[in-house]
Structure 1
Amino acid sequence: MKIGFIGLGAMGKPMACNLIAAGYEVHAFDVVEAAVKEMEGKGAIGAATAGELAARVDVIICSLPNAKIVEGVMTGKGSVFDNCKKGTVIIDMSSVAPNSTKAMAQKAAQKGISYIDAPVSGGVSGATAGTLTIMVGADDETFQKVKPVFDVLGKNIYHIGEVGGGDAIKMVNNLLLGCNMAALAEALTLGVKCGLSVETMKEVISVSSGRSYALDAKLEKFIMADQFTGGFAVDLQYKDLGLALEASRDEKVPLPMTAAAVQVYEAARAKGQGREDMSSVVKVWEDLTGAKIRGTGK
Structure 2
Amino acid sequence: MKRIGFVGLGEMGLPMARNVHARGFEVRGYDTRAEAQRAFRETGGRVAASAEEAAQEADAVIVMVRTPAQAEEVVLGDGGVLEHAPRGTLLAVMSTIGVACMRRLGAGARARGLRFLDAPVSGGRARAEAATLTVIVGGTAKDLADGRPLLEAMGSHLAHVGDVGAGTAVKMANQVLLTVSLMAAREVAAIVEAAGVSVETAWDVLRTCTGTNWVVENWPTASGWIERYTPGTSLDILVKDTGLALDLAREEGVPAPMLGLTSPMLVGLVRRLNG
Structure 2 length as normaliser, TM-score?
0.92
User: For structure 2, which runs of at least 5 residues remain unmatched after alignment?
Assistant: none
Q: Does 1:25 align with 2:26?
A: yes
Q: How does 1:19-168 map to 2 (within 5 A)?
A: 19-168=20-169
Provide Cα deviations, 1:115-141, integer angstroms capped at 9, x if missing partner. Answer: 211111111111111111111111011
SS of the equivalent of 1:27 reads strand
1:234/1:273 contact within 8 Å kept: no
Query: Aligned residue for 1:281?
Result: none
- C-alpha distance in 1 between matches for 2:78 and 2:35: 22
Q: How does 1:193-272 map to 2 (within 5 A)?
A: 193-218=194-219, 220=220, 223=223, 228=228, 233-272=234-273
Task: Report how many aligned residue pairs link the two structures.
Answer: 271
1:221/1:227 contact within 8 Å kept: no
Moved over 3 A (4+): 194-197, 220-224, 226-230
CA shift, 1:184, in A, is 1.3
Provide Cα deviations, 1:221-266, integer angstroms capped at 9, x if missing partner. Answer: 5649x96369x72111111111110101110111111121112211
CA shift, 1:191, in A, is 2.8
Change (3 A) 1:214 1:114: same
User: Which one has the largest radius of gyration?
Assistant: 1
CA shift, 1:193, in A, is 2.7
- C-alpha distance in 2 between matches for 1:170 and 1:53: 26
Query: Aligned residue for 1:287?
Result: none
Aligned AA for 1:228?
R
- C-alpha distance in 2 between matches for 1:253 and 1:110: 30
Answer with 206-215 or 105-114: which moved more: 206-215
- C-alpha distance in 2 between matches for 1:111 and 1:270: 42
User: For structure 1, which runs of at least 5 residues remain unmatched after alignment?
Assistant: 275-298
SS of the equivalent of 2:91 reads strand
SS of the equivalent of 2:137 reads strand
Change (3 A) 1:221 1:108: closer
Answer with 242-251 or 47-56: which moved more: 47-56
CA shift, 1:27, in A, is 0.8
The sequence identity of aligned pairs, in percent, is 32
Q: Does 1:178 align with 2:179?
A: yes
- C-alpha distance in 1 between matches for 2:209 and 2:50: 53
RMSD of aligned Cα (Å)? 2.0
1:134/1:156 contact within 8 Å kept: yes
Change (3 A) 1:154 1:273: farther
Structure 1 length as normaliser, TM-score?
0.85
- C-alpha distance in 2 between matches for 1:74 and 1:222: 33
Change (3 A) 1:181 1:144: same
Provide Cα deviations, 1:54-98, integer angstroms capped at 9, x if missing partner. Answer: 112110001101111100111212111111111011101100111
SS of the equivalent of 2:211 reads coil
